[in-house]
Amino acid sequence: MEYHWVLFSVWLQLTFQTDPDNAFRKTMVFSILTRAGDSASIPCLATDPGVVNLSLEPCHGGALPTGLHYVASLERGMVIFDTKKAFEGCYICTGRLGGAHVKSHHYDLTVRPVPDAAPVIEMREPNRVVLTRGQTLTLTCSTTNVNGDIKLKWAAPPGTDAVWASYPQQPAVENASRILTEPIKHVRSARLYINSVRTRDSGRYRCEGQNEKGINSESVWLDVYDRGFINLTPSDNGTVRVRAGESLSLHVDMEAYPKPHTFTWSFSGQQLRNTSDHVITTQNHQYRYNIVLRLVRLKMSESGVYTFYASNGDATVNQSFSVYVISKPEIVSHEGPVDGQVRCVAKGYPAPQITWYYCEQPYMRCSHQMNATQEEQDIVTVTLLSPSFGKTEVESRLNITTGRFHTLECVATVEGVQAYTLFSISERTVPHELFTPLLIGFVSAAALLCVILIVLFYKYLQKPKYQIQWKVIEGIHGNNYVYIDPTQLPYDHQWEFPRDKLRFGKTLGSGAFGKVVEATAYGMSKADTVMTVAVKMLKPSAHATEKEALMSELKVLSYLGNHMNIVNLLGACTVGGPTLVITEYCCFGDLLNFLRRKRETFFCSKLGDDCYYRNVMLQRGTAAAGDSRNGYVDMRPSVTGVLPNGFSSEKRRSMRKAGGSSSEPDVVSEMLHEDGLSLDTEDLLSFSYQVAKGMDFLASKNCIHRDLAARNILLTQGRVAKICDFGLARDITTDSNYVVKGNARLPVKWMSPESIFECVYTFESDVWSYGILLWEIFSLGSSPYPGIPVDSKFYKMIKEGYRMDAPEFAPSEMYEIMRSCWEADPFKRPSFSKVVERIEQQLSDTTKHIYLNFSSKFPVTMGPQGTSVDQGTQNANVLRLNSVGSSNASTQPLLASASDDVFLEEMGTRLRVHRV
């Protein structure tokens, strides 16, 4: 709708026409339209000059809008100045005539807004569009206006063609394009469409908008090519020299359309993968791309030609870089003096420069002596080996001068770095026959000895090595994780615990390198306390690498700090004997064997109509799936006389009143009663929830587990689940869950595809393993992928997306969580914090209350100086890595917490309520 304003002046001679029934003149005008900022006249003209106290009022009473100013006149009515949108509404004129209150009929005032400036044009497409011949062009622009008085149109360059137009004359915009303008209230959009572009359609397309304040426009430049293209920006550093050990970045800049589907880097004909040694990054903006290959800590063997290759179907390009690694010189051989001549062979890149020096001092570097003599004659230098890339080998021969000199030095120099060897020339050396029977026998014996040593060394390498599975991330570069070297972590000696206060009991687990032993610790937190603990130690046959690995495990545990759902560090013995790592004791053993023990007494409580049938079948007995021991001793309740943490508060108080003595049978019966209780679905949900909480804690500490499975979850009193790493206490050579792959034994059925096929371990690969753990829990300890051996067929099934069906006792919600953990794309798997939220929704209010009550009190630790440290404070400065980052280590020793009483008392109540 368009509005045209006409200004005019009229001279009126006003005469009053008295109307006793109407104080104001009747008129056909009931609606007044004006623009914002203009004046508006309401024509309420009086019929009698005796009308006084003229005023303007809203039709429905009340006050006039704020800021409304007007002038009242019998001749002109009401004139409102500087109208605003807020003034819109219904108004009447009032006054008094002969003492009576009179008023006019209603007038509706409408204020039409006016824009402040020319329209702002918004383009949906970027300022440059690239197409190939035959493609469709669609350009869309839009603008808004405070009123409907807005125009929007496209202007195309002259001579454009449209595939649907076949006119020989020069086409207009309407012939070359189809312009669609669709107003939506006060929003205008315009679309330009060319069905099949040609190269002549290249040029600038302008969208122009106009309102009352002026004209504004935005443009798009169209480039139409006959076919796709890739244009490389010439590089001025095609040949690069860099020192060994330094890093180098190779940059490629290019413009391409369509987007290349192939970006590759190759070295000596072999394609490079994105690894920690070869980091490949790509950045692009519209049609420009910047690809960088970062070579980290270059080695001499990495000298050569690096080639970048890109293709988009229409075009293929490559760009090569010659990289020369500067190496230190080295003397590879030297001979003499023999028949008055010495020989010195050196190699390096660039080719070493060999110089000779004489001096009188024996067995000292001549080049560092003030009185040394540099020999410049009688030298013959030849190049023995000069590869295109790599080290150049140079030989230098010198006819020596006999006399007063004792020492001759050969110095090889590359880029200011030297290597040298010394010759003693005070006496002539008489050459021996090379191939005498004695020398042949010696060489043969030495060769045989070398073969034997090589065989023994190979056998040694084939032996499994103990190493901690948990890895702490230092930083993330793209898809590459950089781990903290645990040997470099600090160790706080405040963790030390006196050896003479440990009393060892039975062996809980034993492996190829060490064992875990039950022990009683006296005075762990206070002088008079007694506590049952688990102690990790090495066997006497352990090597230095195993000792270092156990120390690394101790440092990692101290770094992580404590959490309710991991097996926490209590102390250590590192001086005055073999290393001992003291951890919490978990009386019910590992989760896998616990589930298998409880299969026959399992009570299904959440599955539905078929639950009764499943309970009956379980009561009739089921065969345990797989080996239920795996070489471990069950951690049944100890009878060492130690007061367990789960003992009720009333019994603790009664024993303290009796002078601290305890009745050993009462302690054992309490723990055996808990172990004898049945298992139900709520327990399985609780185990799943607790493990997820523990893994979320490890992830917050930037720690990857790498071997998450039911066999690595321990249970303690109150059926609290704790994540651990058996490590040295498991002999993986006899454990069927660990399959030989390459030179290692791996838990393949628990590993994610990227871990199996690419040896990549991340937070997301732990989430996959957690999904397998959930399957173990809700199948009551069955082996995953039942009936499927780990062979080439298994690997093919995993690659093709095979996933296990829901286990027998899993609610549908839990199976959905398993499936989400098994997503092929690692980034589509949920984080452990998300898994915690989803499982928490399925827990009963009782279980939530018990867990939250205990976790809020667990544990108040004692620091190395005896200060109290809350868990929340301890973790406050730790940042979880989403990209590159690091976390602050915690070195707080974990001691006993009196809050265990409340939790275990409540947990015991829940167990008695839910058991059948």
Q: Could you give all domains of the chain from N- to C-terminal order, each with its CATH number?
A: 31-112 (2.60.40.10), 120-225 (2.60.40.10), 330-424 (2.60.40.10), 482-592+678-857 (1.10.510.10)
Closest CA to 751 of 791, 792, 798, 692: 798
Closest CA to 699 of 755, 777, 765: 765
Host H or E run for residue 173:
helix 173-176
Q: What is the pLDDT of residue 872?
A: 41
Closest CA to 495 of 561, 543, 424, 428: 561
Which parts of the chain register pLDDT below 70? 1-21, 161-185, 401-404, 426-436, 458-469, 474-475, 477-480, 512, 605-676, 726-736, 738-744, 856-916
Q: What would the DSSP string read from start to end of 284-352?
A: EETTEEEEEEEE-S--GGG-EEEEEEEE-SS-EEEEEEEEEEE---EEEEEEEEETTEEEEEEEESSPP
Closest CA to 599 of 616, 618, 615: 618
Among left, alpha and beta (phi > 0; psi -120 to 50; other), residue 203 is left
Please, are residues 278 and 265 in contact by the beta-carbon 8 Å criterion? yes
d(CA 819, CA 256): 40
Please, are residues 504 and 578 in contact by the beta-carbon 8 Å criterion? no
Closest CA to 395 of 324, 326, 336: 336
Q: β-pairing, 203-211 with 214-225?
A: antiparallel
Report residue 422: phi and psi, to 5°: -110, 145
Q: What would the DSSP string read from start to end of 77-118?
A: EEEEES--GGG-EEEEEEEEETTEEEE---EEEEEE---SSS
Closest CA to 640 of 508, 510, 519: 519
Please, are residues 292 and 251 in contact by the beta-carbon 8 Å criterion? yes
Q: β-pairing, 214-225 with 128-132?
A: parallel
Neighbours of 545 (CB within 10 A): 12
> Which residues are within 8 A (CB) of 3 and not within 5 positions of it... i.e. 6 or more apart?
112, 149
d(CA 614, CA 833): 32
d(CA 139, CA 129): 9
d(CA 440, CA 437): 5
Q: Which two tokens stand for residue 453?
A: 């040593």
d(CA 725, CA 596): 20
Q: Active site includes 707? A: yes
d(CA 205, CA 194): 12
Please list, residue by residue across 231-265, b when 16 or more beta carbons sit within 10 angstroms of its beta carbon and e when fewer do: eeeebeeeebebebeeebebebebebbbebeebeb
Q: What is the pLDDT of residue 914?
A: 38
Query: What pTM does this model have?
Result: 0.46
User: From residue 258, how far is each of 176, 199, 224, 414, 453 by CA, in Å?
Assistant: 25, 16, 12, 48, 59
Radius of gyration (Cα) for the chain, nearest Å? 44
By CB atoms closer than 10 A (0-12, 13-18, 19+), residue 494 is middle
d(CA 502, CA 264): 60
> Which of 707, 725, 766, 900 is an active site residue?
707
What letter would DSSP give residue 702?
A: T
Q: What is the pLDDT of residue 396?
A: 94
Please, are residues 139 and 207 in contact by the beta-carbon 8 Å criterion? yes
d(CA 580, CA 538): 8
**Residue keyed to tokens 């004659």:** 377
Q: Which two tokens stand for residue 759?
A: 């040896």
d(CA 616, CA 624): 17
Please list, residue by residue across 171-207, b when 16 or more beta carbons sit within 10 angstroms of its beta carbon and e when fewer do: bebebbbebeeeeeeeebbbbbebeebbeebbbebbb
Closest CA to 68 of 103, 100, 109: 109
Q: Which two tokens stand for residue 529?
A: 């306390």
Please, are residues 501 and 495 in contact by the beta-carbon 8 Å criterion? no
Whether cis (ω within 30° of 0) applies to the bond prior to 258 is: yes
Q: Which two tokens stand for residue 239?
A: 């040949």
Among left, alpha and beta (phi > 0; psi -120 to 50; other), residue 787 is left
Neighbours of 590 (CB within 10 A): 23
d(CA 588, CA 140): 69
Closest CA to 896 of 852, 858, 856, 864: 858
Please, are residues 468 and 727 in contact by the beta-carbon 8 Å criterion? yes
Closest CA to 772 of 696, 705, 723, 710: 710
Q: Which two tokens stand for residue 525?
A: 């937190």
Please, are residues 671 and 587 in contact by the beta-carbon 8 Å criterion? yes
d(CA 728, CA 465): 9
d(CA 435, CA 578): 53
